[in-house]
Amino acid sequence: MSQHELQLCGQILEEHFGCLVEKVATTLIARGRSTLPALVQATKLSVKITREKATEGTRAVVYYQASIREILLRERFPLFIHTAASLFGAPAGLIVQKTLENGTLSPSKIGPTDDMSIGQLSEGMAQLLDGAFLVPLQATDHVTLNDKLIREEREAVANAGMGAPLTSTELTKLRKSLAQQRSEFNQSVDVGSKRKVVLDFEDEENKKKQRGEQYTIEKDEKFYRINTERFNLHLRNSQIAHYVKNYVNETGASLIQAMLNYGFPRMASCKEKLSPSVRRDMLGTLLRGQDFNIHGRVSNPAIEYMDLLMSAHSQIITNIDGSQYAVNLRNAVRALQVDMIESIIQEKFGLVSRRIWRLLHMRSKQDEKQVGKQAMVNNKVARECLYAMFKAGFVFLQDVPKTVDHSASRTYFLWYTSVERTCSILLSCAYNTSHRLKLRRKKEMADRTHLIEKTKRTDVLSGEAGLSEHDIEKLEELKQVQKQLQFSEWRIDEMVMLLRDFQ
């Protein structure tokens, strides 16, 4: 966790909940899991009652923990609401907004509004449930990943030690073995490869009959929560289709979007390598009625587009067994990241630097003379561009010594790119930029505190006293600045989403 990330979390919490919650949460983030007495001692805040919990006659210590991921996701709440409203209408957007405000939501508690009836809200809720954008709240949702890992390690230690304590070396080996087992399990088990176990067939038939009936929120007493991974999947698929539209054409984007929409119900995580496969004979069905922009007579235009996307440098499409096609999600996200890096380089350092970076990205490690020759610029310009990008973390140096003494005069210095390292640097810069934007917005509000308080006066609200032309002008200027800063924060969050959540 970087310092920029900690500062951004504190700023988000202060903006949403106030300075007291911000102080407690930042202490939890910095210290990790803590008990209530340790938290009170660290924050220097007075607490009247120290909570204790008794379980089965024994004292159980309650630990508190702050989730950095959940805090940072609060920046994406407006995007989630807008996505739900654009997909399923305003009632779905209202339901998502209520769920995000309260953390959980019981549909029976939602009442009709002036613009929306119970039927419209029920339809929006049913669409959100069918798309898995809302999922039922379960008892295991409160168990964090750290709790699961601690429980797994405790069970492994009990089985390995046979009651005897393990040494530090044995404990280190055990933790490495557990980490390797989790990694192998995540890589070997595909989502959806196992059939669902049905224990009670009558209960399953009753559920099918209930799903066949018309859904109404008045009869639903369950509690639901937002499935943020589902929203991230939809946003990632939209960005992939938009990328293909810019670099191929609109028909190619429609083909990719149709393949992603076909496999969207079976997608579970943004970490999947491939989308659900599509057979060759299904491509025409997915794009029925679509006009293909291909010169000449082609028997199967969809296959021509598939071959084009497979032969491209980004390799977004993957052929499986010669008869099925799938979208290579990992390559597609990497292409999005490379495109973003190139646009940042062009904006900060110019078109020549972008050409040099792309050359290094495609041809791996090269020395300074090779870079200047292949980029068709002299060595001085190439050197200036390389060192400017080196300071910003876009290119890196690899020394290859001729002798063991590592003398600079007898060493080759090769330039290369690393998308992973650059994305990590850009993510830290994005956190810092978002934090500075929030500080700027806070300062703009503090500088105009007198004007804001004046607009909230009862005589001004009732119309008895009006604002002067100067006050109205300053108020409009404040609204415009706030709008620009908010828009910049959303743009930065889209960048964070691509760098962190899509892979």
pLDDT for 295: 53
> Is 297's pLDDT higher than 70?
no
Q: In whole angstroms, give the CA distance from residue 455 to residue 287.
A: 55
> Is 56's pLDDT higher than 80?
no
pLDDT for 294: 53
Residue (of 304, 203, 198, 207) closest to 249 by Cα position: 304
For residues 346 and 27, the model is more confident at 346
Q: In whole angstroms, give the CA distance from residue 253 to residue 346.
A: 25
pLDDT for 60: 47
Range from 57-66, 350-359, 455-464 that averages highest in pLDDT: 350-359
For residues 463 and 80, the model is more confident at 80
> Is 51's pLDDT higher than 50?
no
Burial, 381: exposed, middle or buried (Cβ in 10 Å; 0-12, 13-18, 19+)?
middle
pLDDT category at 354 given cuts 50, 70, 90 is very high
SS (HEC) of 299-351: CCHHHHHHHHHHHCCCCCEEEECCCEEEEEHHHHHHHHHHHHHHHHHHHHHCH
For residues 415 and 310, the model is more confident at 415
Q: Express each pLDDT in 82-92 by its tens digit.
A: 999 999 999 99
User: Mean pLDDT throughout 435-443?
Assistant: 93
SS (HEC) of 200-245: CHHHHHHHHHHHHCCCCHHHCCCCEEECHHHHHHHHHHHHHHHHHH
Tell me how far the alpha carbon of residue 390 is from its chain's centroid. 27
pLDDT for 483: 92
User: Mean pLDDT throughout 8-12?
Assistant: 89
Neighbours of 186 (CB within 10 A): 10
For residues 98 and 408, the model is more confident at 98
pLDDT category at 196 given cuts 50, 70, 90 is very low
Q: In whole angstroms, give the CA distance from residue 374 to residue 369.
A: 9
Burial, 314: exposed, middle or buried (Cβ in 10 Å; 0-12, 13-18, 19+)?
middle
pLDDT for 216: 77
Q: Do 370 and 278 meet the contact criterion of CB atoms below 8 Å apart?
A: no
